[in-house]
Amino acid sequence: MTTEAIAPSKEDLRVQLFSGKTRNAPGANLSSTDLAGIDLTGGDLKEVNLWEADLAAATLDGAKMDEADLRGANMREAQLVGAHLSRAALLRTNLQGANLIGARLEHATLDEANLRGANLSGASLRKARLNHAVLEDADLSEAWLTQARLQGAEMARSQLNDADLQGADLRNADLSAASLSRANLEKADLTGADLPGANLARADLRKANFSKADLSGANLKDCDLSLAILNGALLTGAIYDKHTIWPENVDPQRIGAVIQETES
């Protein structure tokens, strides 16, 4: 008669993980478990339940956490370099100061997550949900945010240089003083977005929708705004140069933009 193996209890599994006996717990239930400071580098944690778990300062570099439930978890200052989090649930997760360089977050749900000061440079967030997420002072340089949803996201002073935001939904997002130099915003929807003082130099803004957006004081030098929608947009004090391409029906000086040639 075959005896089925009994799954370890939540506490037993926690002990095994901390002892280094195993770094794998796919599909396990570790909800509300204290795993602060644990090292699970490269571990298999696919579909694991870590709802409201404490993973503060945990090391999860290269961990496979696809489809994991991390809703409400504390991952403050966690190391997640190259981690796999595709389709993971990270609703209201605390990732403040976390290191997510090169992480894979395609189709992940990060609505209302706290990513203040997090490093997401080179991360893939294609079609991820980040509605009302806090990304203030975050580094998203060279990140892939194609068709990501960022409605109402708080992104003041964030670094998005060379990021791919093609087709992204940034309606009502706060991008005050954000740096988007050379970013791809083609067909992005920035209706009602706040971008005062933002640096958009050399950005691709073709067919982007800036209806009712605040671009006052923004840097639009060498930008391609051809076919961009600027209905009701505020451009007072926005700076541009001879390389800036405006929509055919827009007179930049008439709407308050200021030409400023690049110094040689």
Half-sphere exposure (CA, 13 Å, Cβ side) for 58?
27
List phi, psi (to 5°) of 236: -60, 125
Residue-wise pLDDT for 181-191, tens only, equals: 999 999 999 99
Q: Taking the complete model, does pTM exceed 0.85, yes or no?
A: yes
Angle at 43 between CA 146 and CA 11, to 5 degrees: 120
pLDDT at 264: 37
- CA–CA dist 216, 43 (Å, integer): 47
CB 80 within 8 A of CB 100: yes
Q: Binning pLDDT at 50, 70 and 90, where does residue 2 land? A: low
Does residue 1 have a pLDDT over 60?
A: no
Quick check: 168 and 144 in contact, CB under 8 A?
no
Are the C-beta atoms of 252 and 235 separated by less than 8 Å?
yes
> Can you name the residues that pair with 199 across neighbouring β-strands?
179, 219
Nearby residues of 4 by Cβ (< 8 Å), 6 or more positions away:
none
pLDDT tens string 249-261: 899 999 999 999 7
Tell which residue, 26, 17, 169, 217, has the closest CA to residue 155: 169
Q: Which residue, among 30, 33, 67, 62, has the nearest Cα to 47 in the 3D structure? A: 67
- Residues 224-251 have a mean pLDDT of 95
pLDDT, mean of residues 31-58? 97
